[in-house]
Amino acid sequence: MCPDIIICNTMKRQLILLSCFCMAGAVMAQQYQPQGYSDSRTKGMAPEMTELYAPQPPKVTPGDIQRNTAPSDAIVLFDGKNLDAWRSDRGDAGWKVNPDGTMTVNKRAGDIITRESFGDFQLHIEWMVPKDIHGSGQGRGNSGVYLQDKYEVQVLDSYENETYVNGQAASIYKQSAPLVNPCRKPGEWNVYDIIYTAPTFKADGTYRTRPVVTVLFNGVLVQNATTIIGTTEYIGLPQFGAHGDGPIRLQSHGDRSEPISYRNIWIRKL
């Protein structure tokens, strides 16, 4: 496909999302949302008002990339031994560390969050959906990587599992669909490499420069210096408010599908 067409479609999706600023409806939020911001234009909106279903990103079969080990200047966030670099909203991180060097989401324990905060960074993280996963759409292997605790790169089983395109794997949730879909099938490991530039703010709390993110999904470019509009919101429009460095949050989603696993997580400050 012509790159110009891809860029055009991406811009079109973001324009459609921006057009939602005029919409209205009502449903309660059921997942983590950054606190502290409010926007009267969002009041009364329903979740589906910010969910786009077309065009579908083309499916791409990823190449055979080797398991990645941390470079010498990286901060290792999880190397298979323990969760010392992580906490929960209530205390210690409660996810399960497995004998094979992976960790598995514990849905009862909630999200886990890095103890350290970050500004600009390069993040490497691997995740796998169980081979025998059940469920569909957003209820099938849902998790997420929150950048600075505010902006979600979606984790989801997007192998033959259709949902709104700005909510599939490697989307900037409800803001930007991935350029293509290189998701591996359940039971195989997926890899995200995320390069993130933190926002800057004016004195009144509005963005001077918005956050920008590039995402490689199994070695394939899926977010190309994407401008993040604002915070990730399940219902309503992205919000904003001045903030400094923030942690990485991994989402424990409330869906009823079998929990996913993570391994080999490291970060480099930029």
Q: Which residues bind Mg ion (CB under 5 A)?
A: 142, 144, 251
Considering beta carbons, is residue 14 or 232 the nearer one to Mg ion? Answer: 232
Cβ of residue 151: shortest distance to Mg ion, in angstroms?
Answer: 12
Considering beta carbons, is residue 119 or 135 the nearer one to Mg ion? Answer: 135
Do residues 113 and 247 lie in contact, with contact meaning Cβ atoms separated by under 8 Å?
A: yes
Cβ of residue 184: shortest distance to Mg ion, in angstroms?
Answer: 18
Cβ of residue 223: shortest distance to Mg ion, in angstroms?
Answer: 15
Considering beta carbons, is residue 158 or 251 the nearer one to Mg ion? Answer: 251
Cβ of residue 138: shortest distance to Mg ion, in angstroms?
Answer: 8
Considering beta carbons, is residue 136 or 206 the nearer one to Mg ion? Answer: 136
Considering beta carbons, is residue 153 or 216 the nearer one to Mg ion? Answer: 153
Residue nearest Mg ion, CB atom distance: 144
Cβ of residue 251: shortest distance to Mg ion, in angstroms?
Answer: 5
